[in-house]
């Protein structure tokens, strides 16, 4: 009984920090994430654009792995989507995928790494 009360308290605290205005993120979506960057005493938003290749759901600890290719080199970044550092998430386009993790994109280059786009 004591353990149940602690878990309920933890859930209440976590729910107060969950973001309510997030779009429905799916694997294969091409997104633009605005991340708050602090430089000295100034704060600005830097955008990171790429494809979601993985998603892990666990309430407040929900993460997405975003991959982009910059000058022929693949770069992956993991975002904690309920973090205060994440300012905005915008879906640019969606793709049709049949897997829950797109790790195979790491081995593909150029046109081979394209995903079939779905239209809304």
Tokens of 10: 């933890």
Stated length of the chain:
120
CB-CB contact of 105 with 113 (8 Å)? yes
- Quick: pLDDT tens for 4-37: 688 888 888 888 888 888 899 999 999 999 999 9
Percent of the chain at pLDDT above 70? 96
CA nearest to 27, candidates 91, 99, 105, 109: 99
d(CA 111, CA 95): 15
Q: How confident is the model at residue 97 (pLDDT cuts 50, 70, 90)?
A: very high
At the second CATH level, the architecture of 2-108 is Roll (2.30)
> Torsions phi, psi of 102, nearest 5?
-105, 45
CB-CB contact of 41 with 30 (8 Å)? no
Mean pLDDT of 46-58: 93
Average pLDDT in the chain: 90
- pLDDT of 2: 64
Q: What is the pTM of this model?
A: 0.85
């Amino acid at each position: 009984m004591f353990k149940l009360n602690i878990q309920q308290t933890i859930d209440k605290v976590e729910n107060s920090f969950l973001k309510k205005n997030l779009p429905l993120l799916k694997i294969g979506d091409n997104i633009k994430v605005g991340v708050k960057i602090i430089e000295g005493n100034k704060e600005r938003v830097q955008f990171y654009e790429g494809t979601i290749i993985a998603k892990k759901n666990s309430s407040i600890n929900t993460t997405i792995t975003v991959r982009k290719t910059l000058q022929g080199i693949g770069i992956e970044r993991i975002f904690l989507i309920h973090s205060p550092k994440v300012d905005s998430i915008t879906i640019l386009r969606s793709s049709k995928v049949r897997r829950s993790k797109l790790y195979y994109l790491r081995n593909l280059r150029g046109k081979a790494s394209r995903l079939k786009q779905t239209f809304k």
